[in-house]
Structure 1
């Protein structure tokens, strides 16, 4: 296995912030009508565990396809050529737009079996880490503030955070040396 052999992609809906700290303080009595959702799209390299993340407005096929195109470009600038992408059977990943993007990028698309999220375990596990160490780590005042905290977290995660599965090395240590 080598970086780029396969990436795992997934989406996590994340509630927009309507009032500060309800997850931390437990006060859910104040309703925030019309706040809605934003969608965290993740791509995790199977070999290195390096992660690319964007927060987008929806999880439609065109959005998933555009995310894949940007992820392929991002990994490419780090010396990683993607060969396969593994996703669940969400509507965005089953769409014609996503299929077309895979064909254009010459990336083979594999899907997990229905109702078996463990097959896409690297993306699922990364999402749990992302929620615990970034999204819910502090009482952000606004969704924009939380979005601004994402880039520094990803820099830490990819370049410095030790991973037990990587012999306590960061994902960056598994990339080609030119990266």
Structure 2
């Protein structure tokens, strides 16, 4: 009740000899309220007639002040470093850092950030419920690739080429070049494949460095470029999004947003070499430390290594052959994991530094030059041997 109404009640009781029951009837309230107002007046005078707050006096479920400060501090730290600093990201980091501690919910963290003026309203963003997600079932089932532009400190334009696993968001390779060509795409693909294995398929846009299928408006039967020919030799399926529909390659496009946000927060790179060092730092954090929201806040590397990898297979004479790529080392050898052990195949010093594909079926292995298609050697694998020489012709 208002101060003026409470004062009128007290005046009626004190100066008109009105009874409590009569006052309750006149002011349309209970006798209990009348007695409480009168008691407050006798104890505190007119100061006791001011309306009292009905809010609870204790908040047993209130987030501790230390946790509030920690949430704000973590937000500011992530934001300064160029990483995602929203409520979901903060919840994931807190869960990762303190698995045994009670962590505020995502909505509570959002309210903390809102009260601290750390939330920027974005009404134009689509609700998450409208997203239609698709994801490869296994690691290396599909790789996505694209390149994006960035500038050095002197405004020199640089292009950053990336290969990313569709299943796990794991960055297989990110490297900067002065210009991205078919040779660059081929080189980066083979480099990533030698380290992580070959994919079953790739998904890219229709840039000429990836495909010539839409060259010159698709009015001419253009010869496949060198990269397409390599994929055909390795029996890797090439998939491409519709023109002007970048959402098909949404994972690598979203990754570009995260990458550029991080690069913007760093001092500008002076040289191409320095930029590549920065990209290596970014990839190390992104792959091995940063929880990813689309992976239920798991680390990309953990998801990438959690299940067996898919790989291309070639059907020959009714048998399926497993394929992997490698580069012949200085001593003329390539390495193959077979029967859970590393095996060394002697191809020959004459082929040192040659990019090759290794076809494996049971205990038979064939090494093929990826550029010419020449068979460099055939091998019969023995579980008791680590080094294998070529089969005699």
TM range (shorter): 0.7 to 0.9
Q: Which residue of the partner structure matches residue 102 of structure 1?
A: 231
The answer for the alignment partner of 2:141 in structure 1 is: 5
How far did residue 92 of structure 1 move?
Answer: 0.5
Structure-2 change in CA distance of 1:168 and 1:178 (3 Å): closer
- CA displacement 1:50-103 (0-9 Å, x = unmatched): 002111221221221222111222322xxxx41110000111011511102212
Task: Flag structure 1 segments of 5+ consecutive residues without an equivalent.
Answer: 19-34
SS at 1:93's partner residue?
coil
Give the distance between the partners of 1:47 and 1:55, measured in 2 at CA. Answer: 24
String of CA shifts for 1:98-141, please: whole Å, max 9, x gaps.
Answer: 102212333211111000000000010111111112x2122225
Larger Rg: 2
* Structure 1 stretch displaced more, 140-149 or 5-14: 140-149
Equivalences for 1:58-73 in 2 at 5 Å? Answer: 58-73=179-194
Cα 1:111/1:141, change in 2 over 3 Å: closer
- Is the 1:69–1:105 Cα contact (8 Å) retained in structure 2? no
Alignment root-mean-square deviation, CA: 1.9
Query: After superposition, where does 1:164-175 map in structure 2 within 5 Å?
Result: 164-175=293-304
Is 1:125 aligned to 2:254, yes or no?
A: yes
CA distance in 1, matches of 2:182, 2:226: 6
1:2-151 matched pairs, under 5 angstroms: 2-18=138-154, 35-51=155-171, 52-76=173-197, 81-95=198-212, 96-133=225-262, 135-143=263-271, 144-151=273-280
What is the distance in 2 between the residues matched to 1:167 and 1:9?
Answer: 23
Work out the CA distance in 1 between the residues paired with 2:269 and 2:208: 32
1:61 touches 1:94 (CA, 8 Å); kept in 2?
Answer: no
Q: 1:56 to 1:141 in 2, by over 3 A?
A: closer
CA distance in 1, matches of 2:176, 2:234: 22
Structure 2: give runs of 5+ residues left out of the alignment: 1-136, 213-224, 309-393
Q: 1:15-63: CA deviations, max 9, x gaps?
A: 2320xxxxxxxxxxxxxxxx53221001110111100211122122122
**Does the C-alpha gap of structure 1 residues 172 and 13 become closer, same or farther in structure 2, counting only changes over 3 Å?**
same
Contact 1:11/1:42 (<8 A) preserved: yes
With normalisation by structure 2, the TM-score equals 0.38
Do the aligned partners of 2:203 and 2:241 also contact (CA within 8 Å) in 1? Answer: yes
TM-score (norm 1): 0.81
More displaced, 167-176 or 120-129?
167-176
In structure 1, what is the Cα distance between the partners aligned to 2:153 and 2:145?
Answer: 24
- 3-state DSSP class of the match of 1:63? helix
> For the Cα contact (< 8 Å) 1:68–1:101, is it kept in 2?
no
Runs of 4+ aligned structure 1 residues displaced above 4 Å come to none
